[in-house]
């Protein structure tokens, strides 16, 4: 059964999430890929303010295509999350509570999720056009020069994701593999 959550995320909501939970997100989320993450971390390292408030927020790893007339956004499928692994722990340390992407995360990111009480959420790869239907509005809020990789503020309604990594060390990908491993010859 899907559970609806709204943004921004509170520590209580994050603590209630477990690997394998199916969620529908409603509210504001931000986009960002590796080029935007690199700039954000450079600002953090210099002690400068970020162009967006990330405390309690979710960043979706996506570089959407341009919208067709009458649409809020073009295809908006997740990108491979591993490209953000070098940057994610610095963002969760500042209060980022969720990230959406596809693929596994590094051990350092999983430790940061536990330490900073944040979650990693998976969106279905290859379903960018369907995911875009859950995006009500989109506007560039930082780094417009990056084109598709600019940071956008998205308003979403019932955006479908699955909890991959939770604050307790749960990992849906590892649990899934264990469930179907061969136990030896019988």
Is 115 a domain residue?
Answer: yes
pLDDT of residue 126: 81
Mean of the pLDDT values across residues 76-81?
94
Give yes or no for residue 167 having a pLDDT over 90.
Answer: yes
Number of domains in the chain: 1
Would you call 18 a catalytic residue per the annotation? no
Segment 134-162 mean pLDDT = 96
Catalytic residue among 14, 23, 37, 96: 37
Residue 135 covered by a domain: yes
> What is the mean predicted confidence (pLDDT) over 71-92?
96
Bridge partners of 152? 140
Q: State the residue range of the domain holding 126.
A: 3-180
For residue 186, tell me if it sits in a domain: no
**Whether pLDDT at 131 is above 90:** yes
Averaged pLDDT, 23-48: 97
34 Cβ contact list (under 8 Å, min separation 6) = 83, 84, 87, 149
Residue-averaged pLDDT of the chain: 94
Domain presence at residue 185:
no
Average pLDDT over residues 55-67: 95
pLDDT at 37: 97
User: What CATH code is carried by the domain that includes residue 13?
Assistant: 3.20.130.10
Model pLDDT, residue 137: 96
Asked if residue 129 belongs to a domain, the reply is yes
The pTM (predicted TM-score) of the whole model is 0.94
Query: What counts of helices (H) and strands (E) characterise the chain?
Result: 6, 7
Indicate the helix (H) or strand (E) that contains 173: helix 172-180
Angstrom CA distances, 85 to 67, 72, 106, 172, 181, stand at 29, 29, 6, 18, 27
Query: Would you state the pLDDT for residue 143?
Result: 97
**What's the pLDDT score for residue 32?**
96
Provide the CA 97 distance to its chain's centre, in angstroms.
Answer: 9
Residue 183 pLDDT > 90 = no
């Amino acid at each position: 059964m899907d559970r609806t959550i709204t943004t921004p995320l509170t520590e209580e909501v994050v603590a209630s999430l477990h690997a394998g939970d199916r969620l529908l997100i409603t509210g504001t989320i931000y986009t960002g890929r590796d080029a935007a993450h690199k700039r954000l971390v450079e600002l953090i390292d210099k002690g400068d303010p970020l162009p967006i408030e990330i405390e309690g927020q979710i960043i979706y790893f996506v570089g959407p295509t341009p919208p067709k007339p009458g649409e809020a956004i073009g295809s908006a499928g997740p990108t491979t999350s591993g490209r953000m692994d070098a940057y994610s722990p610095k963002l969760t340390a500042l209060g980022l509570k969720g990230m959406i992407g596809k693929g596994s995360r590094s051990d350092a990111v999983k430790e940061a999720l536990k330490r900073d009480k944040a979650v990693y959420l998976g969106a279905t790869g290859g379903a960018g056009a369907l995911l875009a239907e859950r995006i009500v509005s989109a506007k560039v809020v930082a780094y417009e020069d990056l084109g598709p990789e600019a940071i956008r503020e998205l308003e979403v309604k019932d955006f479908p994701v699955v909890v991959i990594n939770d604050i307790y060390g749960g990992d849906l990908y590892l649990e899934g593999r264990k469930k179907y491993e061969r136990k030896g010859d019988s």
